Chain A
């Protein structure tokens, strides 16, 4: 049984890691975009005394794409901080159980609640293709609201990948160090 399952799990986790890695590398450009966008707004405002509401919204929107869209990438790189005073002293097996437990009972319920509770919030926005409420603001506010779902999706996938990796480790399928969430160098 495990002979068939484990390679499949490995394949799926690899795929998810690759996806989030690509997304993260792409979205990281938005940090530069945000800097330049905001700087242009400053120049236009203080040097030329003009302002465009959509441009002011654009960098705020970019920022929300950065932290929501980059959350999976951050999870992949173990950068969502944890308190490892005790964790670091656990045996490898215990670490695996902690991660599986946490994903199933802390992360997934949260994701499900967000996805569920935001459904009418997002759907009603799509129904009218809601634009920004500001005059001359950005179009496509419904897309920004949908970022909440995108966040749920990628963080859910990364949670699955984490469980997958820990299961592999428990079955001794992979002997890599757990402190590095990247079992496979899917980077670059």
Chain B
């Protein structure tokens, strides 16, 4: 019992140590190793388990599906740096701005379109805040409505495909599903692909966008002075048709093509992402913005974002490795399967935990440490993995919006310190938090909203991702037994050899 208890203590310890402000990736790895040491001295942790680390890392390094992440980031940064996103927003707001509340609606739509590609809440909120806030303020929007709209739209990137968050989520859920199915005696589980999760998130994402827009329209009807129409100058009016053709249509087409090719199963996410990145460069080229200086900036940002995210993955995999080594998983299974209310009760507990963690950690840290631990248990209890992924995505969005800790609020305050009062931001996001909760309740009660589209598009035995990943890991297993044996001798420990620890680590994300 000692091991699992120590394992559960890892969560508060991780939160507390992350709060001191050292980079999260390193802190997660370091604190986990400290727990591994404690476990070793108490005789409940086998240090040879740590030799599984290089194998896991190598699995991440050679994972083809995850290459989609830098490619989508490249596309997103390219669209942003070449001011294509900005013009998309201004054109959209000129198009809709003439109507009461139209500006708010355009912020939501563009947020949904451009937020997805980087998946980093902070970056999106900052961009949207810098671009839209001055326009909305000038148009006479109430500060609370504009800040709420911007913060909420910034979080849409978590859930609207092609979200990088969903790419990681799909890979982790695939591992979790595999493991859960094996434990239930199903030796050839159907693989879960990124495309399926994208399809699953599509309708819930659109429901949220619909709810947001409905809210802005409601405000426009009830309190017209909160979101007045924008008066376009004559010149703006005459230029609008041209702008629609050149600034609105091309990026829209690009995003639709990329997403469409993934959802229809025509191409893998990685392939589509590379086409998207080339397409973004092409659009930038047409606008004469593909200078060497811009290109270098895009490459640099891509490198920084990508390295940041993947190093968190490396750090967080130490966490899940040590957590498992301390037998924390059995404890989680015990706890979750004894929650009153059956699988829904267990799901609710996980959702609340994720929500709470959202106050302290960013998306990637949360999904890297909680899903590998909680998802196998929930899937074993009968929760559909796609449904689970979609709910967690929506949940994280809500968490980032909730005052006083919500991430996006901090970022908006950073951008708009002088224009907005904190209270106004809080007041502004509250209705959106309510809409989020409404959205979650809808999906929670009707799982088919998330599972219907993937079933239609991919059927039941579709397969694009991950099978080669598992092959890779299996290939590596032979040689690793040798290393493990060396390590056993080195540490001179007497552990049960009949069960190879590697059996537990077949998949990097387990």
Complex CA gap A99/B299 in Å reads: 28
| One of B51-59, B85-93, B215-223, B335-343 at the interface | B51-59
Which chain B positions have C-beta within 8 A of A110?
A: 26, 29-30, 33, 315, 318
> Does A139 reach chain B (CB closer than 8 Å)?
no
Q: Report Cα–Cα, A46/B25, bound state, in Å.
A: 39
| Closest CB in chain B relative to A24 CB, distance in Å | 7
Is the pair B22, A82 in contact by a Cβ cutoff of 8 Å? Answer: yes
How many angstroms from the CA of A84 to the CA of B27 in the assembled complex?
Answer: 13
Whole-angstrom distance between the Cβ of A43 and the nearest chain B Cβ: 9
Residues of A contacting B31 with CB < 8 Å?
Answer: 106
Contact among A63, A86, A103, A121 with B67 in the assembled complex (CB-CB below 8 Å) = A63
Which of chain A's residues have a CB closer than 8 A to the CB of B307?
A: 66-68, 70-71, 73-74, 79
Tell me, in angstroms, the Cα distance from A75 to B24 when the chains sit together. Answer: 12
Contact A114 B19, beta carbon cutoff 8 Å = no
Kindly state whether residue B374 has any CB partner on chain A within 8 Å: no
Known: A80-B26, A84-B21, A98-B21. A74 touches B361 (CB 8 A): no
A48 beta carbon closer than 8 Å to chain B:
no
How distant is the Cα of A105 from the Cα of B27 in the complex, in angstroms?
A: 9
Contact of B18 with A83 in the complex, beta carbons under 8 Å: yes
Among B50, B60, B307, B308, find the residue whose CB has the most chain A CB atoms closer than 10 A: B307
Tell which of B54, B67, B275, B309 touches A34, judged by Cβ atoms closer than 8 Å: B67
Contact of A64 among B62, B71, B480 (CB under 8 A): B62
Partner of A39, one of B27, B275, B300, B472: B275
What secondary structure prevails in chain A residues at the interface with B? Answer: helix
Contact B22 A99 (CB under 8 A): yes
Q: A77-B304, A148-B61 are in contact. List 20 more A-B contacts (CB 8 A).
A: A25-B300, A28-B302, A31-B70, A31-B299, A35-B71, A42-B271, A63-B67, A74-B303, A79-B305, A79-B308, A80-B311, A98-B20, A103-B22, A110-B33, A117-B53, A120-B483, A121-B58, A122-B54, A133-B475, A148-B57
Using CB atoms and an 8 Å cutoff, list the residues of chain A in contact with chain B. 24-25, 27-29, 31-32, 34-36, 38-39, 41-42, 45-46, 56, 59-61, 63-64, 66-68, 70-71, 73-75, 77, 79-88, 90, 95, 98-99, 101-103, 105-107, 109-110, 113-114, 117-118, 120-122, 124, 133, 144-145, 147-148
Chain B interface (Cβ < 8 Å from any Cβ of A): 17-27, 29-31, 33-34, 50-51, 53-55, 57-58, 60-64, 66-67, 70-71, 74, 267, 270-271, 273-275, 277-278, 281, 295-296, 298-300, 302-312, 315, 318, 360-362, 410, 472, 475, 479-480, 482-483, 486-487
Instruction: List 10 A-B residue pairs with CB atoms under 8 Å apart, sorted by A's residue number.
Output: A34-B74, A38-B270, A39-B278, A67-B311, A71-B311, A81-B308, A106-B17, A106-B26, A107-B29, A121-B483
